[in-house]
Structure 1
Amino acid sequence: MSSPTTDRATTAYFPLLAAERLDIALCRASTAVARAADAQTGALGLGVGQHLVLKMLAEVGPCSQRVLSDELRIDRTVMVGICDGLEQAGHVRRERDATDRRAYAVTITESGRKLLAQAEDAVPEFLDGTFHALTPAERGQLSGILGKLLQARP
C-alpha cells in the first residue's frame, strides 16, 4: 500500500521528466494521440493505418504497397496486412502495375471512397477533442515543428 506522500511524488514526477526529456514527452504524447485516433477510427471499423492508406490512394492515385509503406512510414510487413484487410472488405483492389509486371498497384474503390469520406468527416471533431489544450496558434506551431522534425528524418 502506498502512502499519500508517495502518491503525490509519483503524480508529480512525469511532468518533470517530460520537461527534462523532450523525447519521452513526444513519445507519450504520440501514444496518447494514437490511442485516441484508434478509438475514433475503430468506431467505423477502420484502423489508423487503413485510414492513411485510403487517404493517400484517394489523393495520389494507385500506388504499390512499397510506395505506400515508404510514404506513410508503415513497416512493409504491416502494410501487407493493411492492404489485405482493405481488399477483403472491398475498399481497395490490387491490379498488376502496368509499368512493372512484378508489382501490384493498389487502387481505392468506390466503397473505400465512401468509408474514407465518413472517416474524414470525423477528423475536425477528433482534432478539436484531442488537442483541446492548445490554441489554434499553438496547433499551427506544433504542426510546423513536427513537420520540420519529420523532414529531417527518413
Structure 2
Amino acid sequence: MPQTDDHSDDRGRPTVEDTVLGDLIGYRLKRAYMQIQPEAQRVLAEDDLRVVSFSCLSIIADNTGIVQSELADALQMERSNLVVIIDELEQRGLITRKKVPTDRRRYALTATLRGRRLRDRAAEKVRTAEDQIIGRLDDKDRAHLMAVLQRLEDKAR
C-alpha cells in the first residue's frame, strides 16, 4: 500500500492545491467539458466528423434553409470560419447549398437524407460517450443541470 501524507492522494500521487479555480463555475464547466470532449472527438472521428462539423451538420439538419450568417450566429462562430466546413459537408453529400431566390448572394443550407442519417447516428454515439461522464448523475440532477445551463445560455443572449 502506498504511503500517503498531507500532499498525496490515496494512490500516492501528489495533490495540487486549488483554492481559487475550484470555486469558479467557468473553470468547473471547462473541466467537465475536458472529460467529455476527447470521447466525443473519438466517436465522431469514426464517421470522419469533428465536433465543429458535427455541430454545423446538426444545426443545418434542424433548420432547413438556414443561411451561413444564421448558422454562424447559432454556433457563435465567424462566418469566414464556416466556409471550409460547409464546403466539406457539401462535397461529402451531407448538405446542399442553393442560392436564396430573394438574395442571390446568400445560400440556403439543407441537410440531405444522408446528412440527416449521419447526424442522427453520430448524435447517438456522442450521447453514449457523454453518458460515461454525465451518467454519474441521476435523472433529476441531469435535468436540473440542463435547466441551469439553458438559463445561463439564455441570459448571455
Which residue of the partner structure matches residue 17 of structure 2?
Answer: 13
**Would you say 1:102 and 2:105 are equivalent positions?**
yes
Aligned-partner Cα distance in 2 for 1:33–1:77: 27
Aligned partners of 1:36 and 1:130 also within 8 Å: no
Aligned-partner Cα distance in 1 for 2:38–2:20: 21
Matches within 5 A, 1:18-97: 18-97=21-100
Please report the TM-score for the alignment, with normalisation by the length of structure 1.
Answer: 0.82
Greater relative contact order, per chain length (Cα 8 Å cut-off, separation 6+): 2
- SS at structure 1 position matched to 2:47: coil
1:132 is aligned, of 135, 142, 157, to: 135
- SS at structure 2 position matched to 1:122: helix
CA 1:126–1:141 in structure 2 vs 1: closer, same or farther (change >3 Å)? same
Query: Could you list the runs of 4 or more consecutive aligned residues of structure 1 that deviate by over 3 angstroms after TM superposition?
Result: 4-7, 16-19
Aligned partners of 2:94 and 2:114 also within 8 Å: yes
Q: CA deviation at 1:132?
A: 2.3
Between Structure 1 and Structure 2, the one with more helix by share is 1
Q: Which has the larger radius of gyration?
A: 2
1:24-82 Cα offsets, whole Å, 9 max, x none, are 11222223323332222112111122222222222221111111110122332322221
Aligned partners of 1:92 and 1:109 also within 8 Å: yes
Which residue of the partner structure matches residue 155 of structure 2?
Answer: 152
Aligned-partner Cα distance in 2 for 1:87–1:95: 11
CA 1:149–1:60 in structure 2 vs 1: closer, same or farther (change >3 Å)? same
Aligned partners of 1:131 and 1:139 also within 8 Å: yes
Which residue of the partner structure matches residue 146 of structure 2?
Answer: 143
CA 1:37–1:123 in structure 2 vs 1: closer, same or farther (change >3 Å)? closer
Paired residues, what number? 150
The amino acid that maps onto 1:23 is G
Moved more, 27-36 or 105-114: 27-36
- SS at structure 1 position matched to 2:49: coil
Please report the TM-score for the alignment, with normalisation by the length of structure 2.
Answer: 0.81
What are the ranges of 5 or more consecutive residues in structure 1 without an aligned counterpart? none
Q: CA deviation at 1:149?
A: 0.6
- Provide the identity percentage: 27
